[in-house]
Every structure is written in C-alpha cells, then in structure tokens.
Amino acid sequence: MVPLIHILAFCGGFVIMSMELLGGRILAPYFGSGVYVWGSIITVFMLSLSLGYLLGGRLSVHNPSLNRFAGIFALGAILLYPLILFAEPVMEFIFLRIDDPRYGSLVASAFLFILPTVILGMISPYSVRLLVTKVEESGKVAGTLYFVSTLGSAIGTLMTSFYFILWFEVNTVLTLLTVVLLAVAGVAVLAARK
C-alpha cells in the first residue's frame, strides 16, 4: 500500500501545480499576466491548500480508508472539470463588473479555483494518516510523503510550463488532469478491494 499512496500523492501534487500554472493562462485574456494576476492566483491557491490541509487532517481521523481517499480524487475531478465549461463566462462576467484588474483577477481566481484546490489539498494529510502505523515513525512518513508530493508538484510545473501549454489547448490539459484524477481514484478503489 505504501508505494500506491506515494503514487497518488505524487499525482495530486502534479495536478495542483499544473492547474495553478494554467490559471495564469485562463486569466490572461481578461486580466493580463502581470504580477497582480499571479499574486491573486498564488494567494488563492495557498489559502485553498491551507484549508484543504486542515480539512484533510480532520477527515483522516474518522475511519480512514482507500475508498474515502479515492473519493477525494474523484471529487477533485468533479470540481476541476467545470473550469472547461464555465471559466470563460465567469471571467467575462467578472471582467465587466470589476474595473480594477487586481481585484478582478482575485475574485476570478477565487471563484474558479477555491473548491478544486481545497479538495486536492486534502490529499497530503489524508495520505499521511493512511501511512502512519507507528507514532514514532510519523515524522519520517510525513517527510517522505511531502518529498514525493512536492516532487510531483515540481514535475507538474515543468511539464505544464515547458510542454503542455505548447502542445495542447488549456481545456485539453484540464481534461487530461481530470482524467488523471479519475484514473487514480479508480486505482485506489481497486486497491481497496484487494
């Protein structure tokens, strides 16, 4: 089970950072790509992740299981996919009502990214709970898990910024990320049955 949890955490980190980078591409046509846009995106992601860590930690103490863990990934996919359908209308709506691009980009980032990012933020603390069997090893387990998750984030950042945005449309990448989340949820469900 340990390698599986590490793979799932890696995939979660990959998707989070890929989505964050795509956020810049999604907001750019309406709000530009200046420092305030990136400040908005990073702020929303950091606050959402912190809330996800808190909720994931609390959820993990109530009958933790691979099936529930799979549910986090599936819910993340369900909340990520609407970006493909609604990002443009949401941006246009906000753009026409908030003149200042600083606040417009902050509101748009919050509306588009809070929910999927909070859910994906639950992955790391839940992973730690599934892996910790002895209290004495909790630091080692958490350190290894955060290493794997952060490695996934780094590779997701590079793959998205160096390749995905050159090869694919934003909506295609979002679809691929949704498929990855659903696939790893399926793998976790299958593993739970064995």
Does position 99 have pLDDT exceeding 90, yes or no? no
Looking at every residue in the chain, the average pLDDT score rounds to 94
Global pTM reads 0.94
Say how far apart CA 34 and CA 28 lie, in whole Å.
Answer: 9
Give 124-168 pLDDT, tens digit per residue.
999 999 999 888 888 998 999 999 999 999 999 999 999 999 999
Q: Which two tokens stand for residue 141?
A: 């387990």
- Whole-angstrom Cα distance, residue 184 to residue 9? 10
Total structural domains within the chain: 1
7-42 per-position pLDDT tens digit: 999 999 999 999 999 999 999 999 999 999 999 999
Give me the domain span that covers residue 52.
2-193
Query: What CATH number does the domain containing 130 carry?
Result: 1.20.1250
- Exposed/middle/buried for residue 192 (C-beta within 10 Å: 0-12, 13-18, 19+): middle
Give the Cβ contact number of residue 116 at 10 Å.
26
